[in-house]
Structure 1
Amino acid sequence: MSGVRTYQSLGKLVTRLRDDLNDADLVLLYAYNRTGKTRLSMAFKDAGKRRTRRNPTGTPDTLYFNAFTEDLFVWENDLDGDRLRRLQLNEKSSFFNAMAELTLDETIAGYLSRYADFEFDFTYKEFQQGGETISKPDFVSFRKGDQTNIKVSRGEQNIFIWCVFMAICERMLDGHESYQGKSYLYIDDPISSLDDNNAIAVACDLAKLLRRAATRKDANGAPAPIKVIFSSHHALFFNVMCNEMGRRDDGGPKITHKRCFLHRPDGDGRYTLQATDDTPFFHHVASLAELQRAADPAKGTLYTFHFNALRSVMEKTASFFGHPGIAFCLRALDTDDDRALFNRALNLLSHGAYAIHEPTEMGEDNKQLFRRILNAFITRFEFALPNVVPAQPPASTPAQAPAPQEAPAQ
């Protein structure tokens, strides 16, 4: 894979990714939120259970983790008694079918102890499924010290679910009969609601598991690798994964992997893949291309949260050059007046109530100021913007830009 490639549908993109895994152990995808990562993971999974010449029975070949996996766990908060709080498991899901025989508790606890300080207890129940009776977990409750039936935070809940998945992955790699026929792992955004410290810890643990998947052997000692797609919108997590998978582990074999930026340039059904093997920070450059498109006065729309995005790119640029803050980037601009104005604008307009979830369009004065800052930054640092986004030069503005407006009451 080289350059930028365009795919007209999810199906064609899935075919590309499955082809890439013929000569690589792992594909790492970076993509913004709302690109369609979850839909892509489901399309990949669905492609693996179609009846084909290689899979005449239509046996599912992918074990996956995504938002649907997290949705299998739902809180029962006991609103009447306000006492028994527990996480209910979806009894209809086959995801839990083998948990009684997998004896996962110890493995889950081993992972969980690295990230959290609470404990858990599964309660099992007999379910009728397909004419047979299956013992499956009904719910899980949590405790900490002398406290029982505690409500854990959303981040703690998500890390617990992730630990369950990691434990199941271990059994699959062990060759448990419940996972015969599985050839792929698809892992999409496993660290929602986690702080950066836990994100790094999870990435390191996941990298160890993926090395094991790539070097897996069957009972006879023959290579039997599990191929992996990993996708994330989290820049730190993605870069840790790139670094971890790019190095040899204690003299072990090198893991062949591809790094790609996944993009949906026009919000339609088309997708692009940009190989980023030599530029793991490509997504920050892509962010600039997105900002340049938003700043196009003819076709774009600038929202107040775009100041946050620009400040973030400046901070990462300064960090790349070994400087602690965006003052380095501002010093590269032309005049003291410009630097003072731009610094005031970025500090004032990149904070406060400018949430991406409730976007507010910039006023015209701030749009002109934003275009000046963006144009000066791109020009001075000579960024070569990717062609995944049709770049439009920011509009010229009057010689003296207006001062930034105060934020309106929200």
Structure 2
Amino acid sequence: MTSQSFDNLSVLATYLRQRLEQKKYILLFAYNGTGKTRLSMNFKMIGKVGNDEEEVRDTLYFNAFTEDLFSWDNDLDGGARRVLRMNTDSRFFSGLQELEMENRIRPLLRRYADFDFYIDYEQATVNFTREVRATSEHTETLEHIKVSRGEENIFIWCFFLAVAQLAVDEQEAYDWVDYIYIDDPISSLDDNNAIAVASHLAQLLKSGSGKIKTVISSHHHLFFNVMCNELGNAEKYFLSKEIGSYLLTDTGETPRYHHVALLKQLHGAAESGEIYTYHFNILRNILEKTATFHGFRNFSACIKQGSDDPDGILHARLVNVLSHGNYSLYEPQNMLPENKDYFRKILRDFMENYRFNPELFPAPTQESSNP
């Protein structure tokens, strides 16, 4: 793995733009506090030219500042008309009404949430609603509800996805977009929805003509792993902060340094019995990276051959089939007992064959073993 040092984030942002002259996607993994958000703003500022009246930009971005474009009006006097206000001074909201944003956002939001919304374009506000059961036979709609912080973040993410789709489709209102920069979109989602968000985002990006180049940064192991799989030809880096500089390490196709964290997650699932179909996606990812590292052409080479499967074909097919189902978007899908057994066997054999620190993976106890 090769590494490069950069004196500041502006120089690093310039380098990323240079790399995007040759690549469509760049994926960055970095821990919180490294400077991911500031890097995204430096990247954006490089493409910002001119004054307020004749300003030219080239980057559509999602980060903590995007979330700040929305703020709550809690109706402190009446306490009944709570709305989310949009800062329409931002170019992010260009031409919303003409583009029928509600119809674009709603199908995305329904993947993750059970509330609805309506946009008042004149007032630049969002009214959230939710249906609740009033009686055994009837429901009623609650207006102007205040959704949770997690639900608010999901709504803003879906809002951004709808705008990004317009840019990818080269709609006139967003034809200024040459780059999309996304920083940590899924901080409030669980692992199951992290897979769904990553998969859907990759599908959106790949649906375009290739005009728009994309940078995605994250501290979320699973999200980053899925993006690596979905955008296989992306350049992949680990960003770290050194004393007085920033270090960018090209991870290439070697296993991610955080594969141990993912193995701990799988080990914990196997121990608890809470094994879901998406765990096979994680297992396959680790097998593929291990195979690449050891020079094998297929992940099946990393599956131990047993007396019940001397060629390793059965278990390889199981991993292949169970890791290619539809990503569960709202509720994790539990596995059948026999598939759980296969999962445990493949994982256990892998960890025995490729030795890991046993202190990180305590042996199961009878009390903790679950079906």
Q: Scaled by the length of structure 2, what TM-score is found?
A: 0.67
| Aligned residues of 1:242 and 1:280 also touching (Cα < 8 A) | no
Q: Find the counterpart in structure 2 of residue 382 from structure 1.
A: none
Q: Find the counterpart in structure 1 of residue 252 from structure 2.
A: 277
Partners of 1:153 and 1:234 in 2: CA distance: 21
What's the RMSD between the two structures over aligned residues? 3.0
* Partner of residue 128 from structure 2, selected from 139, 142, 164: 142
Partners of 1:203 and 1:141 in 2: CA distance: 28
* Partner of residue 257 from structure 1, selected from 229, 234, 245: 234
Partners of 2:111 and 2:258 in 1: CA distance: 30
Q: Find the counterpart in structure 2 of residue 4 from structure 1.
A: 3
Aligned pairs for 1:6-405 (under 5 A) are 6-50=5-49, 59-125=56-122, 138-145=124-131, 146-213=141-208, 216=209, 225-246=211-232, 256-266=233-243, 268=244, 270-283=245-258, 312=261, 315=264, 322-323=347-348
Secondary structure at 1:168 match in 2: helix
Partners of 2:352 and 2:144 in 1: CA distance: 49
CA-CA distance at 1:40 after TM superposition = 0.3
Change (3 A) 1:139 1:271: same
Greater CA drift, 77-86 or 23-32: 77-86
CA-CA distance at 1:92 after TM superposition = 2.5
Percent sequence identity over aligned pairs: 47
Change (3 A) 1:327 1:283: closer
Output one character per residue of 1:78-118: Cα deviation in whole Å (capped at 9) or x when no partner: 23322112111123222213212221111100101111111
Output one character per residue of 1:333-357: Cα deviation in whole Å (capped at 9) or x when no partner: 6xxxxx79x969xxxxxxxxxxxxx
Secondary structure at 2:347 match in 1: coil
CA-CA distance at 1:177 after TM superposition = 1.8
Q: How many residues align?
A: 275
Output one character per residue of 1:162-216: Cα deviation in whole Å (capped at 9) or x when no partner: 1111111111122222222321111111112112222111111100011123xx1
| Aligned residues of 2:221 and 2:262 also touching (Cα < 8 A) | no
CA-CA distance at 1:282 after TM superposition = 2.3
Change (3 A) 1:119 1:42: same
Partners of 2:158 and 2:73 in 1: CA distance: 20
Partners of 1:183 and 1:154 in 2: CA distance: 31
| Aligned residues of 2:238 and 2:250 also touching (Cα < 8 A) | yes
Secondary structure at 1:322 match in 2: helix
CA-CA distance at 1:316 after TM superposition = 5.6
Change (3 A) 1:317 1:151: closer
Greater CA drift, 186-195 or 272-281: 272-281
Aligned AA for 1:315? Answer: K
Partners of 2:155 and 2:80 in 1: CA distance: 21
Secondary structure at 1:114 match in 2: coil
Secondary structure at 2:14 match in 1: helix
| Aligned residues of 2:222 and 2:262 also touching (Cα < 8 A) | no
CA-CA distance at 1:313 after TM superposition = 7.4
Aligned AA for 1:150? Answer: I
Secondary structure at 1:99 match in 2: coil
Change (3 A) 1:7 1:211: same
CA-CA distance at 1:314 after TM superposition = 7.1
CA-CA distance at 1:50 after TM superposition = 3.5
Partners of 1:159 and 1:203 in 2: CA distance: 13
Partners of 1:41 and 1:205 in 2: CA distance: 22
Change (3 A) 1:278 1:74: same
Secondary structure at 1:182 match in 2: coil
Aligned AA for 1:198? Answer: N
Partners of 1:184 and 1:196 in 2: CA distance: 27
Partners of 1:30 and 1:100 in 2: CA distance: 36
Aligned AA for 1:273? Answer: L
Q: Find the counterpart in structure 1 of residue 341 from structure 2.
A: none
Unpaired runs of 5+ residues, structure 2, are 132-140, 268-282, 287-345, 364-371
Aligned AA for 2:69? Answer: L
Aligned AA for 1:172? Answer: A
Secondary structure at 2:121 match in 1: strand
CA-CA distance at 1:327 after TM superposition = 11
Partners of 1:313 and 1:235 in 2: CA distance: 7
Secondary structure at 1:100 match in 2: coil
Secondary structure at 2:195 match in 1: helix
Partners of 2:225 and 2:101 in 1: CA distance: 30
| Aligned residues of 1:314 and 1:329 also touching (Cα < 8 A) | no
Partners of 2:352 and 2:128 in 1: CA distance: 47
Partners of 1:17 and 1:201 in 2: CA distance: 27
Aligned AA for 1:84? Answer: R
CA-CA distance at 1:157 after TM superposition = 0.7
